[in-house]
Every structure is written in C-alpha cells, then in structure tokens.
A and B are shown apart, each in its own frame.
Chain A
Amino acid sequence: MDVLYFAWVRERIGRPKDVVETQAATVMDLVEELRAREVRYEAAFADLSSLRVAVNQELTDFDAPLENAREVAFFPPMTGG
C-alpha cells in the first residue's frame, strides 16, 4: 500500500511517500512497523496525539482496520481556510 506523509511529518521522515508491504491489521500496527524502521520514523510518530490519519483519503482513527486500504496518510491537524 502507499503510505503518504504531509507537512512536518513529511519533513521529519524526509520523504513524501513509502510503498509498504505489510500484514498490519490496523493503522496502529502499521505505525509500530514504521516506528521500528529508523529513528526519523520513530521521531515522526513519537506523539500520536499530534497526528491525524486518513485511510483511502478519509479521516479515521488509529485503531481503524487496514482491510482494503490502498492508501494511508499521516499528517498534523489541518489548517485550512
């Protein structure tokens, strides 16, 4: 699946996107896998209360299942308008 990063999450990880092969059942499982990758991922996912997640371009929660997920995105709270 495609894992996308925006704003300071993208900057902290140093790339806008990863293509990930995963058996993760939930967003949280995926976060744990990403955290284990490298220090910069661990830093980006250190405080989940400052992050939001979208699965297939819809806002959801960290306990959301990843069944049928093609695209998961992590980003800070939005500041539109």
Chain B
Amino acid sequence: MDIRVQSAPFDLGQEANAFAARQAGMGAIVTFTGVVRDVAGGLDVMEIEHYPGMTEAALTQIAQDAPERFALGDVLIIHRHGALTPDDLIMMVATAAPHRASAFEAADFLMDYLKSRAPFWKKEKTSDGSDWVAAKDEDETALNRW
C-alpha cells in the first residue's frame, strides 16, 4: 500500500509502471486519474485545500478497507493539494488484483470513498471571482452502493 499526499506534480506513466513492476502474480492492474477540468470556461486556478494528518489517516483507512472487500493485492493513492491549473493531474488511484473484476471494482470503491470521505476541498478561481466546489448529492448516494 502506498499513500501520498503532495503538492508536487506526479508522472502518471512512471507511477503506473513502478506500481506494475512491484506486483507479483497479479493479472490485472487498473489506474484511474483525476484531471482539472475547466467546466464553465475561464478557470485560472483550482486551489485544493486539505486537512494535514487527517487526510493521510482517511486515505490509509480507505486503502485498508478495500482489500478486505475485494480480492486485492495492492493499492496506490496519490492526491495533490495546492494551486493546480486546467489539465493538471489532481490524483491517481491504482489497484492490482489477480483478475480484472476486483481491480476495477476496488478502484471504483476507492474513488467513491475518496470523493466524500477524504478531507479535501476544491476552490475554483476565475476572472469573475472564486467559489468553493459544492459536494454533489450523487457522490453521497454512490457510497451506498458498497
């Protein structure tokens, strides 16, 4: 299990390769990557705030829950904070499992939990001002699937 909370950018290819290279007997590796999206047009900066200490604890808890539910070999979570701009990579999740079903499912599970239970908050800054991104009801509903 590898959990990283950082302001620095990460190299998706390098991280995915390193994650794959350290697995043994895993037939499936799934990676998910979140990217800063300029939804309305005019997004200058996405500022991501987090709760140092609790963030790491919450991500670790989520990553520990996943193998108990799915036949999972390994988990990687990288989540950035600080000032990001459109098309920057925000975060990535990688899962390794003997078969693809559990690798996909575990990645989905990790993303649902990470969205509503890891203490991050996004603020979008445009030329018109800035606004906190509101949590969506459907994100909370998605948790009920598990």
Mark A residues whose CB is within 8 Å of B: 4, 6-8, 54, 57-59, 73, 75-81
- Expressed in whole angstroms, the minimum distance between the Cβ of A7 and any Cβ of chain B is 4
Contact B114 A80 (CB under 8 A): yes
In the complex the two chains form, what is the Cα distance from A80 to B118 in whole Å?
A: 6
Mark B residues whose CB is within 8 Å of A: 34, 49, 51, 53-54, 57-58, 79, 90-91, 111, 114-123, 132-135, 140
Given the known interface contacts A7-B49, A57-B54, A81-B115, the answer about A76 and B121 at a Cβ–Cβ threshold of 8 Å is yes
Q: Nearest 7 pairs between A and B by C-beta?
A: A77-B135, A80-B120, A57-B54, A7-B121, A81-B115, A80-B118, A80-B114
Contact A6 B51 (CB under 8 A): yes
In the complex the two chains form, what is the Cα distance from A80 to B133 in whole Å?
A: 10
In the complex the two chains form, what is the Cα distance from A58 to B111 in whole Å?
A: 19
A-chain residues with CB within 8 Å of residue B34 when the two chains form the complex: 81
Given the known interface contacts A57-B51, A79-B122, A81-B111, the answer about A8 and B132 at a Cβ–Cβ threshold of 8 Å is yes
- Expressed in whole angstroms, the minimum distance between the Cβ of A1 and any Cβ of chain B is 15
Since A57-B51, A76-B121, A80-B91 are in contact, a sample of 18 more A-B pairs with Cβ atoms closer than 8 Å, ordered by chain A residue number, is: A6-B121, A8-B132, A54-B54, A57-B57, A58-B57, A75-B121, A76-B132, A77-B134, A77-B140, A78-B115, A78-B117, A78-B118, A78-B119, A79-B133, A80-B119, A81-B34, A81-B91, A81-B118
In the complex the two chains form, what is the Cα distance from A80 to B134 in whole Å?
A: 11
A-chain residues with CB within 8 Å of residue B140 when the two chains form the complex: 77
Contact B51 A80 (CB under 8 A): no
B-chain residues with CB within 8 Å of residue A54 when the two chains form the complex: 51, 54, 119
Given the known interface contacts A79-B121, A80-B79, the answer about A57 and B53 at a Cβ–Cβ threshold of 8 Å is yes
A selection of 26 A-B contacts at a CB cut-off of 8 Å is A4-B51, A6-B51, A6-B119, A7-B123, A7-B132, A54-B119, A58-B57, A73-B54, A73-B119, A75-B51, A75-B121, A76-B134, A77-B134, A77-B140, A78-B115, A78-B119, A78-B121, A78-B135, A79-B120, A80-B79, A80-B115, A80-B116, A81-B34, A81-B91, A81-B115, A81-B118
